[in-house]
Structure 1
Amino acid sequence: MTPELERLLGAMATARQRDGVILTAYTDFVRSCGLDHFVLGMAIGDPDVGQTVEIQTSLPDAWMEEYDALDHVRHDYVVQQMANLGPDRPLLTTAWGEATADRPEVSARTGQVLRGVADAGLGNALSFTGRGAAESDQAWFAATFGCQRSGREAVLERINNHRNELLIASFALFPCLRPALERRHAGIVEDLTSREVDVLARFAQGLRPDRIAHRMGISKRTVDMHSVNARRKLKARTLAEATAKAVRYDLI
């Protein structure tokens, strides 16, 4: 195990995804493999009804703003590969690059996305796509690695030299990304305040409202107010449900 991978796995074990520590360690790990960029994508939900997609990447913010504004996700070449996954085919490996846009089976809009991501830094890349282990688990994952100027063969050689480590690191990272994705998929978009997080964390410890008020140095009425606001934001009917959702979505 390389020192960079060891640091990454250590960060996964001790930090929260929203703190940014994990993605910083992941970026360092990818760069240590001689690769310029990565894209981590995760989708959850029924493709025929509506999916929610989360993307973490080292590519420039300007490209991701364009990607979101033009709804490129529906025409993303890697996302399209997810349709080929199934219980009997849980993992796929796909090499692609700017030249893929010229293939006759690739639509003009998908070609536009391929050329755009090449300009952003992924001229040649390799993607690993997979899905949840359970047949009923409607979750799909994709980890893409590549370089801006290196040729196709050089990029593939670098990735294959570190293939096992890249797979271990990427698929270990997806559980860290999933809580935020599930939260968005459930339609929970309003952030909790630090006080609301503190109150729910103490409820999760089994403390009563009066004890929480004493610990936090506030009135019980204020504790009740934070509880009501947290329940509303988390779309929970009870405080117990709000606390359970806060744990599930990695908020406390």
Structure 2
Amino acid sequence: MSPQLADFLTDLFATAASGQAMPESGDSYSRLFYRYLDAVGIEHCNFGGFELASGLGQVNEFSGSRLPEPFLEEFVAELSADDYALLKAKELGPDKPAIAFNVGLPWLDELRAFNPGSEKGQIECARHGIEDGVALIGQSPMAPGSDRERFYGFVFAGTDGSGQRAREKFHELQVASFALLDKMRPQFEATIEGFGYNLTAREREVLGALAMGLQRSQIAHRLNLSVPSIDFHLKALRGKLQAQTLAEAVAKGYRYGIL
């Protein structure tokens, strides 16, 4: 194990013990991960969770990226359905739960042979620094009742030798990725399902009180609010968490790392 990886794992698990909720803890984990990548000479890494729906890749947003925000929005809206890395997930199965492969301009022939529609997205990514690299994708447990296949993905890339360094250090990059995935799985799940951690401070308080088993009147007394005000916040929680019941809202609060 390299000193850089040892430092990252030590700091990651120390940070995990701080008791922060998502997404704040996820931001802390991401900063440590990118600091580690800088230390080993990897310029870029996009990572997050995604689904395959009707054979098309679908990502709501990245859990981590150094690409410009306007391009990320363009990618999600216009390019992700044909993205090479997302569509390679079709090769996974019970006997192949994870796969690694090259990405970037030196590998365009392989990309075109796999899916010609992916070329545009790859060229656009290269314009923003993803010129050469290696990707890691794998299967992720599906949410209860989901009819879509769910995956995680990491793309390590850059310019000026980042791709070659990623291939040389790929074994330890996998260790770092799985450690990060273990800590950020709640945020990956939330990202896939379109939840943006957009609860207000008051809504978090109400959700926490629900998780303690308090009733509406008890929550109102605890927070010094009226019962109608609590009802307003409960309705907002169900909407933002896409929950049909308050019990489901609490369950999602735990699954997304809020509680």
User: Normalised by the shorter chain, which TM-score bucket?
Assistant: 0.7 to 0.9
In structure 1, the residue corresponding to 2:23 is in which secondary structure? helix
Shift of 1:73: 0.8
Matched, 1:116 2:124: yes
Q: 2:155 aligns with which of 139, 144, 157?
A: 144
* Structure 1 match to 2:248: 241
* Structure 2 match to 1:175: 185
In structure 2, what is the Cα distance between the partners aligned to 1:202 and 1:244? 13
In structure 2, what is the Cα distance between the partners aligned to 1:102 and 1:50? 20
Does structure 1 retain, via aligned residues, the 8 Å contact 2:22–2:256?
A: no
TM-score (structure 1 length as normaliser): 0.81
Identify unmatched segments of 5+ residues in structure 1: none
* Structure 2 match to 1:27: 34
User: Aligned pair in 2 of structure 1 residues 106, 231: CA closer, same or farther (>3 Å)?
Assistant: closer
Q: 1:4 aligns with which of 1, 8, 24?
A: 8
RMSD of aligned residue pairs (Cα, Å): 3.0
Matched, 1:206 2:210: no
Shift of 1:50: 8.4
In structure 2, the residue corresponding to 1:226 is in which secondary structure? helix
User: Aligned pair in 2 of structure 1 residues 129, 208: CA closer, same or farther (>3 Å)?
Assistant: same
User: Aligned pair in 2 of structure 1 residues 9, 125: CA closer, same or farther (>3 Å)?
Assistant: farther
In structure 1, the residue corresponding to 2:76 is in which secondary structure? helix
In structure 2, what is the Cα distance between the partners aligned to 1:182 and 1:210? 34
* Structure 1 match to 2:138: 130
Matched, 1:80 2:87: yes
* Structure 2 match to 1:15: 20
User: Aligned pair in 2 of structure 1 residues 8, 214: CA closer, same or farther (>3 Å)?
Assistant: same
In structure 1, what is the Cα distance between the partners aligned to 2:50 and 2:230? 36
In structure 2, the residue corresponding to 1:141 is in which secondary structure? strand
- Partner letter of residue 18 of structure 1? P
In structure 2, the residue corresponding to 1:231 is in which secondary structure? helix
Matched, 1:43 2:54: no
Shift of 1:38: 0.4
Does structure 1 retain, via aligned residues, the 8 Å contact 2:133–2:158?
A: yes
Shift of 1:51: 4.7
Shift of 1:8: 2.2
Does structure 2 retain, via aligned residues, the 8 Å contact 1:5–1:29?
A: no
In structure 2, what is the Cα distance between the partners aligned to 1:190 and 1:67? 21
In structure 1, what is the Cα distance between the partners aligned to 2:249 and 2:182? 27
In structure 1, the residue corresponding to 2:108 is in which secondary structure? helix
Identify unmatched segments of 5+ residues in structure 2: none
In structure 2, what is the Cα distance between the partners aligned to 1:41 and 1:78? 12
